[in-house]
Chains A and B, each alone.
Chain A
């Protein structure tokens, strides 16, 4: 039917004169639109790299100083030191904990959707996940402030002590002083990256050929044995890709983390204590600093680090997929 409609429409067009000369113009236009993305990436790399290096090139800060753990950017307080280690470590630590919480949950959810859920359950959970993706990060941050942070503070405000009958005190974790903490940041992030990891791993589980499932079940395995020994190994590159994408999203998330993490520029201590990240420091200070001064240039250096993290992860995902394709 649609073909017929198109055919009638086209027959009137065929006679249009001068058509041949115009044929290539659309191609050129859509090519420009697509390749503009390459230009954007090139400009992005050049500009952020240039700005990120100003701290060393213009302000003369020695490169190894960014590995210092002291962040003292304000000339009003004496000698300035631009140690970025607290921020890099904070980003890494909060991302790792978020991944540790989110990966089992997300992969489990992906397995549930692809292997266990009957059609009706899938029809409910999948749209729910899409809504999760759509919830803006400031809303997650706001939920963190109004629900999670007070909950952590009121429930685990005292020191958490683990003791055994004979050995005595084994572990003592200081309580949540305010609730704004590494843990709060990691929990908020773990929910935010859940849909990313779930949907990418779901796709890779779905891509495993049905014969592998039937073959395994025909050999008398249980469903769980088939999942554990056949499906998960077969889908592993896809799951790894999912985790890398989740990691990228967690490391780059700014506002939600800034709202709950407490923003203390020191090296990570206990999981109940405040922490800071690259993104949250940029968010807080960029508007209050003067362009060109070392303090702001240090923030640009942080954004260069973030850019490096995300480009590395794109390359990493490509390598994982290339290896899978080669197999």
Chain B
């Protein structure tokens, strides 16, 4: 604390040092302080200008009819983006449905059971390895593992499964951290009361870790929402102009292909994939506006996920600890 206040003292060295230290030393210290402050200001300015840029670019494009409207062709009008947005949300929910249980379970093992042995070392290595493998390579792996193996073509489900592979290590690590943050005393007290290890985890550790777990879930959700490279070769490209949400008749011919509720449909371009493909293939007077609007929505979602993680984490902590 004292060291921090010493180090954090913005006035430079203590006055008594000024006489002894050479002028150059003190000038260097001043210059360094200015430069280091400069890096902080630079990052803030950069983020600020990006947000302002998208706010301006989205002005006049993003409207309720853009968000909820049918897909435009980019040539005659801006149109809407709803089918794409639906694909993004569907993909996100499907991915999280698979990866939340898996990730939390893996986190439980690493935090509560893992002994210091070779198996644990191997799991840690695997965790680091998957996180460092480029997302495009994860996508190619998904292409072999799911698309080539099951011979069902490109589907939303395969995209979600590949995103799970991409997401699992981070989800597991964040869950592990959330569980480790629960004080050891809580476990001791529970075990002393005669609870089994699993009862302790299920009824004591997990409830206490909920704020951390929720924060982890939202943070990984933001990453999944923005990912495109993993999806390029695993989920199908394209989206219909309009989705028929009343198409609930599972037995009908083509239901699996056309219904917006089907996980096996091949029309699964998400927002980020849309930005990428429209940029390279889209021709038309309104393409720039559409991409700007889509990017603005993507950025706002990222902001919402980020602030949401913070806010909900804080709220849950307050609620659970004040009980």
Contact = CB atoms under 8 A, between A and B. Distances in A.
A223 B33 contact: yes
Contact of A252 (B4, B136, B207): B136
B26 interface: yes
Which of B12, B165, B198: most chain A Cβ within 10 A?
A: B198
B181 interface: no
A34 B299 contact: no
A112 interface: yes
Interface string A123-154: 01101111110111111011101110000000
A81 interface: no
Which of A27, A40, A318: most chain B Cβ within 10 A?
A: A40
B241 interface: no
B306 A279 contact: no
A48 interface: yes
A310 B134 contact: yes
A317 B292 CA distance: 38
- Is chain B's interface secondary structure helix, strand, loop, or mixed overall? helix
A248 B132 contact: yes
Interface stretch (A63-71, A166-174, A212-220): A212-220
A132 B36 CA distance: 19
A115 B305 contact: no
Nearest to B4: A210
B203 A112 contact: no
A220 to B, nearest CB: 6
Interface in A202-261: 210-211, 213-214, 217, 220, 222-227, 245, 248, 251-255, 259
Contact of B140 (A3, A139, A191, A303): A303
Contacts of A125: 40, 43-44
B253 interface: no
A44 B42 contact: no
A34 B172 contact: yes
Interface in B189-210: 189-190, 193-199, 201-204, 207-208
A222 B37 contact: no
Interface stretch (A6-14, A82-90, A156-164, A266-274): A6-14
B47 interface: yes
A134 B302 contact: yes
A27 B110 CA distance: 11
B276 interface: yes
Given A2-B186, A34-B114, A245-B132, A217 B21 contact: no
Contact of B126 (A19, A37, A291): A37
Contact of B141 (A14, A20, A44, A139): A44
A326 interface: no
A44 B134 CA distance: 12
Contact of B36 (A108, A134, A145): A108
Contact of A127 (B13, B50, B310): B310
B141 A47 contact: yes
B152 to A, nearest CB: 16
B233 A314 contact: no
A282 B230 CA distance: 12
A136 B137 contact: no
Nearest to A128: B47
Contacts of A44: 130, 133, 137-138, 141
Contacts of B249: none
A204 B169 CA distance: 22
Contact of B193 (A10, A124, A134, A191): A10
What class of interface size applies to chain B in its complex with A?
A: 35 or more
A189 interface: no
Contact of A23 (B6, B196, B273): B196
B135 interface: yes
Contacts of B106: 30, 33-34, 36-37
Given A34-B110, A134-B305, A29 B105 contact: yes
B29 A225 contact: yes
A252 B134 contact: yes
Given A44-B133, A136-B227, A282-B140, 12 more contacts: A19-B196, A33-B105, A36-B106, A37-B106, A38-B122, A48-B140, A112-B36, A112-B39, A130-B306, A135-B299, A223-B7, A314-B129
27 contacts: A2-B186, A2-B320, A3-B185, A3-B190, A7-B190, A10-B204, A19-B199, A33-B109, A34-B110, A40-B126, A41-B129, A48-B137, A108-B35, A112-B37, A121-B40, A127-B310, A128-B43, A136-B272, A138-B276, A214-B3, A223-B7, A245-B132, A252-B135, A253-B134, A259-B276, A282-B136, A314-B125
Interface of A: 1-3, 5-7, 9-11, 13-14, 19-20, 22-23, 26-27, 29-38, 40-41, 43-44, 47-48, 51, 105, 108-109, 111-113, 115-118, 121, 124-125, 127-132, 134-139, 141-143, 145-147, 191, 194, 210-211, 213-214, 217, 220, 222-227, 245, 248, 251-255, 259, 279, 282-283, 286-287, 291, 300, 303, 306-307, 310-311, 313-314, 317-318
The 6 closest A-B pairs by CB, nearest first: A252-B134, A136-B226, A33-B105, A222-B29, A34-B109, A224-B32
